[in-house]
């Protein structure tokens, strides 16, 4: 598709379960980002990839959260042993590249995956 695609759009799970959220970035975008948006808050940075490698994962809240991008395109955010506090909208964004004078600074966001942990 033309934009960033995220699946599922909604996910309801029980406390303690494992969850995967998928992001399909815009074709040709080398940089991919995950943000988390809690109710009434702005998005919070989690991790970003430049190609296949995680360039910065300093925003991941703890070791229950992990993300991969094995082929430099689609990315999966994985959450183990979910807790109620993990409930939020998880946003994915992509850009042509990260950093440098030719970077326009524009992130293209998907519509998000709303995670509810009961």
Partner 1 sequence: AQSVTQLGSHVSVSEGALVLLRCNYSSSVPPYLFWYVQYPNQGLQLLLKYTSAATLVKGINGFEAEFKKSETSFHLTKPSAHMSDAAEYFCAVTHGSSNTGKLIFGQGTTLQVKP
Instruction: State the residue for tokens 């942990």.
Output: 117
- Indicate the residue among 16 and 61 with the shorter CB distance to partner 1: 61
Span of 15-23, 66-74, 76-84, 100-108 interacting with partner 1 by CB under 8 A: 100-108
Q: Is 104 in the site for partner 1 (CB under 8 A)?
A: yes
Identify the CA nearest to 80 among candidates 21, 17, 38, 33. Answer: 17
Among 67, 112, 113, 115, binds partner 1 (CB under 8 A): 112
CB 48 within 8 A of CB 55: yes
Q: Is 106 in the site for partner 1 (CB under 8 A)?
A: yes
Could you count the other beta carbons within 10 Å of the beta carbon of residue 38? 13
Q: Is 44 in the site for partner 1 (CB under 8 A)?
A: yes
């Amino acid at each position: 598709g033309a934009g960033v695609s995220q699946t599922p759009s909604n996910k309801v799970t029980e406390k303690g379960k494992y969850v995967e959220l998928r992001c399909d970035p815009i074709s040709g975008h080398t940089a991919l980002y995950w943000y988390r948006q809690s109710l009434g808050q702005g998005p919070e940075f989690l991790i970003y990839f430049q190609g296949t490698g995680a360039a910065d994962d300093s925003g991941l809240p703890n070791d229950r959260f992990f993300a991969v991008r094995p082929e430099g395109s689609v990315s999966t955010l994985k959450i183990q042993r979910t807790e109620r506090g993990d409930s939020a909208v998880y946003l994915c964004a992509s850009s042509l590249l990260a950093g440098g004078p030719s970077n326009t600074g524009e992130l293209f966001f998907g519509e998000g995956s709303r995670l509810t942990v009961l």
